């Protein structure tokens, strides 16, 4: 293991013999859709149970559980990591931890899980990101102290999660700043929005996501010695197994949508990431555990990097993170066969594409968050699982998954396919 830190460039680490065994995720439900009333805890339990099953890992073997959840949207949010761990069958003696790097938090569960193994504090870790954005509350901070007559103060926490008060404007405005910096047109943004939709629909049609997504039904989640938890979908929903935000579109219909963040801007509801609910989980371990249990991991986790950038152009975070990742691994962008960059906004992705110089044909090949959606805490896990599976399908040696992060950060992970 070789670590790196620089006040100018960020932090990074190259790992020794760390692996992503396998994983699973829930389908992502659209805002106020089929998953709207399922708590992020329950979504996480469903994803983790299936992840362990797909990985062929006994829950009792897990040494640590690492969970990400950004918007606290259930009354048991304080207990969320612990509850997910216990209801997933992990031993009660095993500790659970929550990590938070906003849109990069899913990646951070993997990074933290791997680093705990590198520190010899674990052999195998359960990693999960979960989010229910539909349940994001309206809150009144300070109401315990009272308020002026006729002047109660309530905030919409979903909106607040998308609004960086330090930068002085919502996340979408940072994408407009990237568009201005790189002269990205509305037509370019809409063209990419359509590409995301087309690729996602093609992936669904081909059955690519069937091995990744677990069907969800109304059920009861039991665990020995614990109170049963009820998962209840709408009455007309059974075997919910397809990402609900995905829809077919045309350039003509996209062109009719109004700009959301700037009257003359490029970002619309049709070329920005969907607000969705869902969870994703993977299991990571060292080589010794894999060899002992005769497991076949999807990918080797080679290195990771995180950095900070100007909040006003936060969407370019993957550029700095990926460049640092390439530097510490002594690779070039041309060595990378597949790339996943979270599609927070079309202009943000295009800006990263222009600065990094990769071929769009190897990036987000099964679509992305514009179509599928971006459940904040789950996205990094979803991207890591998706790219690992696609690398095996294509027999690609190296792949990078990355995301921009609200407030001006970026995170990236380098994966290697050792099955070729």
Return the DSSP state at 235: T
Q: Do 383 and 414 meet the contact criterion of CB atoms below 8 Å apart?
A: no
Cα-only R_g, the chain: 20
Count CB-CB contacts under 10 A for residue 242. 14
Residue 64's SS3 state is strand
Return the DSSP state at 345: B
- Whole-number Cα distances in Å, 88 to 174, 212, 240, 310, 322: 38, 18, 20, 39, 33
Residue 380's SS3 state is helix
- Whole-number Cα distances in Å, 81 to 52, 99, 131: 16, 10, 12
Q: Identify the CA nearest to 171 among candidates 280, 260, 237.
A: 260
Q: Which single residue is written with the structure tokens 């800006």?
A: 351
Query: 96's torsion region: left (phi>0), alpha (psi -120 to 50) or beta?
Result: beta
Return the DSSP state at 136: P
Handedness of CA 30, 32, 35, 41 (dihedral sign): positive
Question: Is 404 noted as a catalytic residue in this protein?
Answer: yes
Q: Which single residue is written with the structure tokens 């099953």?
A: 53
Q: Which single residue is written with the structure tokens 């290195």?
A: 303
Residue 345 burial (CB < 10 Å; 0-12/13-18/19+)? buried
- Whole-number Cα distances in Å, 194 to 11, 27, 271, 352: 35, 21, 8, 18
Return the DSSP state at 90: -
Residue-wise burial string across 380-409, b where 16 or more C-beta atoms lie within 10 A, e elsewhere: bbbbbbbbbbbbbeeebebbbbbbbbbbbb
Question: Is 127 noted as a catalytic residue in this protein?
Answer: no
User: What is the rounded CA–CA span in Å between residue 254 and residue 257?
Assistant: 6
Q: Which of 128, 173, 352, 404 is catalytic?
A: 404
Q: Length of the chain, please? A: 420
Q: Which of 103, 127, 307, 352 is catalytic?
A: 103
Q: What is the set of active-site residues?
A: 103, 404
């Amino acid at each position: 293991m070789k670590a790196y830190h620089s006040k100018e460039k960020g932090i990074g680490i190259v790992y020794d013999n760390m692996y992503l065994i396998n994983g699973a995720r829930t389908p992502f439900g659209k805002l106020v859709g089929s998953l709207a009333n399922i708590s992020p805890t329950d979504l996480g339990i469903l994803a983790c149970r299936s992840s362990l099953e797909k990985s062929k890992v006994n829950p009792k073997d897990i040494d640590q559980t690492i969970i990400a959840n950004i918007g606290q949207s259930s009354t048991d949010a304080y207990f969320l990591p612990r509850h997910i761990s216990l209801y997933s069958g992990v031993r009660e003696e095993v500790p659970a931890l929550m990590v938070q790097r906003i849109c990069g938090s899913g990646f951070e569960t993997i990074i933290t899980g791997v680093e705990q193994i590198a520190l010899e504090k674990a052999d195998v870790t359960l990693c999960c990101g979960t989010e229910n954005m539909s349940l994001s509350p309206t809150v009144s901070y300070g109401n315990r102290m009272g308020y002026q007559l006729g002047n109660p103060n309530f905030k919409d926490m979903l909106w607040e999660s998308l609004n960086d008060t330090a930068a002085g404007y919502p996340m979408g405005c940072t994408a407009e700043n990237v568009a201005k910096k790189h002269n990205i047109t509305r037509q370019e943004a809409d063209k990419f929005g359509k590409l995301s939709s087309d690729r996602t629909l093609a992936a669904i049609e081909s059955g690519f996501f069937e091995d990744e997504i677990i069907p969800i039904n109304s059920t009861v989640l039991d665990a020995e010695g614990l109170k049963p938890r009820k998962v209840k979908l709408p009455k007309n929903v059974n075997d919910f197994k397809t990402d609900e935000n995905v829809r077919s579109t045309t350039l003509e219909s996209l062109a009719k949508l109004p700009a959301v963040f700037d009257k003359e801007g490029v970002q619309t509801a049709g070329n920005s990431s969907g607000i969705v609910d869902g969870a994703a989980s993977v299991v990571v371990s060292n080589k010794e555990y894999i060899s002992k249990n005769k497991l076949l991991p999807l990918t080797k986790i080679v290195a990771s990097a995180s950095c900070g950038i100007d909040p006003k152009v936060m969407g370019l975070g993957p550029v700095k993170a990926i460049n640092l990742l390439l530097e510490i691994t002594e690779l070039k962008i041309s060595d990378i066969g597949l790339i996943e960059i979270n599609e927070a906004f079309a202009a943000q992705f295009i800006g990263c594409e222009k600065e990094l110089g990769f071929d769009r044909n190897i990036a987000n090949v099964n679509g992305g968050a514009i179509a599928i959606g971006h459940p904040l805490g789950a996205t990094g896990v979803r991207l890591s699982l998706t790219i690992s599976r696609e690398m095996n399908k294509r027999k690609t040696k190296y792949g990078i998954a990355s995301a921009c992060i609200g407030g001006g950060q970026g995170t990236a992970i380098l994966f290697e396919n050792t099955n070729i």
